[in-house]
Chain A
Amino acid sequence: MNRGAIGVIARLTLHEAFRRRLLWALVGLTLLLVAATGWLFGKAAELSPLEGGTQQLVLSQLLVMIAFMFSFVLTMTAAFAASPAIGPEIENGLLLAVLARPVRRSDVLLGRWLGLALVVVAYALAAGYMEIGAVRLMTGYAPVDPLVAPVYLAGETLILLTLAIVFSTRIAPVASGSIAVVGFGLAWMGGVAGGIGDYLNNDALRNAGIVAHLILPSDTLWRGAMYALEPPPDVLTAAGSQARIFTVSPFFAGTQPPLAWLGWCAVWIVATLAIGVLLLRRREL
C-alpha cells in the first residue's frame, strides 16, 4: 500500500467533488430539506393534541422517518457517486495513464474510496446535526443520543459506498449503483424481519435478520441511528402502555446494536475493500 498515492487519489476525488459542484448541490438541497422539515415539525408540535411522553414518542417517530428518508438519499448519493468510480475510468482510458505511474491498483481503489468516504461522511454528519438541531429548536424534542445518531447514519452510508465501489471494479455503473440501493432495501427488510422474529420469538425470522445483517450490515447501523433518535428511557417509562404501541413499529429499535455487530461492520468494510482490490488486480485493462 502506498499512502502517498492513496492520498493523491483521495485529494483528486475531493477536488472533483468540489469542482463538479456535487457537494454544493447536496448542501443546497439539504438546507432546503432541513428548513422544510423544521417548519413541519414546528407545525406538528403546535397543532398536536398530544402532550408529554406520548408527544415525544410521536415526534421521535417522525424524526426517525425523516432520518430514514435521509438515509435513503445518502445511500443513493453514495451509490451513484461510487458506482462510476473505477470501471468507466478503465474503459475510457483515464486510468491507463494513472496506472502507468508508480501507482498500484489498490492505491486507486482505496484512494477513490477514501475521497468519497470523506465527502459522504462529512455530508451525513453536517446534515444530520442540522436536522436534529432544527427539530430541537422548533419542538424542544431531545433524542437520547443526538451526537451519535448522525455517526450511525454516516457509517451506514459507508457500507453502501463500499459495496458500490467494489462492484464498480467489475460491473457497469448503473448496475453497481442499483445493486447498492437494492441491497440497502433488502438489508432493511431483513432487519425488520429479524425484529418481528424477536417480537414473536420466531427463530426462522430472527435468523433471517441475522443473515441479512451478516451479508450487508447497513441495517445494524440504521437501527443504531433509530435508537439514538428515540426518546430517553425515562420518557418511554413515563409513557407507559402507550409506549408499547411503538415498540412493534419497524421504525423503533429499543436497544443499541451490540458492540460485536458494530465490530462486524468495520470488519465487513475492510474485507469488502480487500475483495475489491483482488477483483481490480485481476481485471484486464
Chain B
Amino acid sequence: MAVASADGTDDSGGSASSDAAGRAIATPATQTTAIEIPAIETRELRKQFGRIVALAGLTMTVRRGEVFGFLGPNGAGKTTAVKLLLGLSAPTTGAGRVLGAPLGDLDTRQRIGYLPELFRYQGWMTAREVLALHCELARLPRSSWPAGIDEALTLVGLADRSNDRVETFSKGMQQRLGLGVALLGRPELIVLDEPTSALDPVGRQDVRAIIGALRARGATVFLNSHLLTEVERVCDRVAIVDRGRVVAELRMAELVEEGGVRVLVTGLPAAGAIAGRFGPIRRDGEWLVVDSIADDKVPALVAELVAGGGAVHAVVPAHHTLEERFLSLLGAAPGAAQDAAPSENPEARP
C-alpha cells in the first residue's frame, strides 16, 4: 500500500472521512475494506531533535485486530514513535498511515484511544467530568455519553469513585482513569503507553483482561511497555526497537513453537539417548532439556522414558521467554534486563 507523506502534526487538517464513515469502520468484523487496511503502517519514520536522533527509520505494520507489543530499552524511541503515530509530533522525514489516514489526521483521532505514559487529568474535576470532557472532545454523540462513561468507569474499576475529584486519586487510580478515557467511544485503535506502570498486580491483571476484551471485539491494541512478561501474556505480535529502528518482529506463537520441554527423570542412564530422538538435548542441572519438540510429541517422549525404566518426576514447558529473545536480539548481558524491565513481576520469571 502506498504510504502518504506525513507533513504536519495536529494542525494539518482533517481528511474527508466523516463521523458516519468513522462509525462504519468501528465495526471491523463487517467491513472487509477496513480489515484490509492496516491499523498502522510506517515507512522510514525518522525523528530528530537537533543532533539527537530519537527515531532512525521506523518501518512496521500493525494489522487490524491484533494486540501489538512495542518493546525496546530506554531511549529506543518508543514514546517518540507513539507521539508520531498520534500526530502529537511531526516526523522529520518518512511517512505513515494510521487507520488508513495520514499521520496527524484530525478526524481519524475520533477512532483512536490513547493512554499517555505521562498521564494526567484535570485534578479539579471528578472522574465522571473528565470522561464527559473527553466524550465531547472526541465528538461522540451526546446521547451515548452516560452509557459510555458508566461502561468505562466499570471496566477500569472506578464506578464507586466516579464523583470524586481526580486530585484525591492515587497514581494507580489516575492511570485507571486514563485507561477509561482511552476506551471511550469504543475506538478501533487503542494506544497504551506503559499502561501498568502505576498499577499493582490486581490492576495489571485487570488491564490484561481489558486488553483481552478489546481483542475479542476486534479492536487493535498498540502496547508500548517495558514489562516483558505483561507483553508476553497479552500480545499477538511484538516489534523490538533499538536505537530508533525495529530490530525484530516476532509472533508470540513463534516463541512457543521454538520452545522445548524440561524433564526431571531418574533411574535411566539412557534417558539422553531416548530423548535425543525427539530433538536436540542439553543438561540443566538435574533437568534434561529437549529443545524444539512439538507439544504433541511430549506424551510420546514421557511414555518412552517410562517404558525405558525411568521415573519421570516433572515435565514442564521450556519455551524461550520474550526476555531471552529480547536480550539476545539486543546483544545485552542478563543484567541489562533491569533496564528493559525495571519493575518486572518476579513471580513470572523461571
The interface of chain A, by Cβ under 8 A from chain B, is: 2, 4-5, 8, 12, 16, 19-20, 92-94, 96-106, 281, 284-285
Contacts and interface: CB of A to CB of B under 8 A. Distances in A.
Interface of B: 9-11, 14, 49, 83, 86-89, 106-107, 109-110, 112, 114, 116, 118-122, 124-125, 133-134, 136-139, 178, 181
B112 A100 contact: yes
Nearest to A285: B88
A100 B136 contact: no
A96 B110 contact: no
Given A16-B122, A93-B119, A96-B118, A102 B138 contact: yes
A20 B123 CA distance: 11
A103 B139 CA distance: 10
A19 B88 contact: no
Contact of A97 (B89, B106, B116): B116
B118 to A, nearest CB: 3
Contacts of B119: 93, 97
Contacts of A2: 106
A284 B91 CA distance: 11
Contact of A92 (B118, B125, B133): B118
Nearest to B118: A93
Nearest to A91: B118
A98 to B, nearest CB: 6
Nearest to A93: B118
Q: Which secondary structure dominates where chain A touches chain B?
A: helix
Nearest to B49: A284
Contacts of A104: 10-11, 106
A276 B125 CA distance: 27
Given A97-B120, A106-B11, 4 more contacts: A19-B125, A92-B118, A100-B88, A103-B137
A94 B121 contact: yes
A212 to B, nearest CB: 33
A92 B123 CA distance: 12
A99 B109 CA distance: 9
A238 B119 CA distance: 67
Nearest to B116: A96
B109 A102 contact: yes
B102 to A, nearest CB: 14
A93 B197 CA distance: 15
Contacts of A20: 124
Nearest to A284: B89
B120 A8 contact: no
A281 B11 contact: yes
A251 B116 CA distance: 53
A16 B123 CA distance: 10
B109 A19 contact: no
Contacts of A94: 120-122
A101 B137 contact: yes
Nearest to A103: B137
Given A8-B133, A92-B118, A281-B11, A100 B109 contact: yes
A284 B122 CA distance: 21
B237 to A, nearest CB: 23
B138 A101 contact: yes
A21 B133 CA distance: 20
Nearest to B137: A101
Given A8-B137, A98-B137, A100-B109, A285 B89 contact: yes
A92 B122 contact: no
Shortest beta-carbon contacts, A-B, top 3? A93-B118, A101-B137, A100-B114
B139 A102 contact: yes
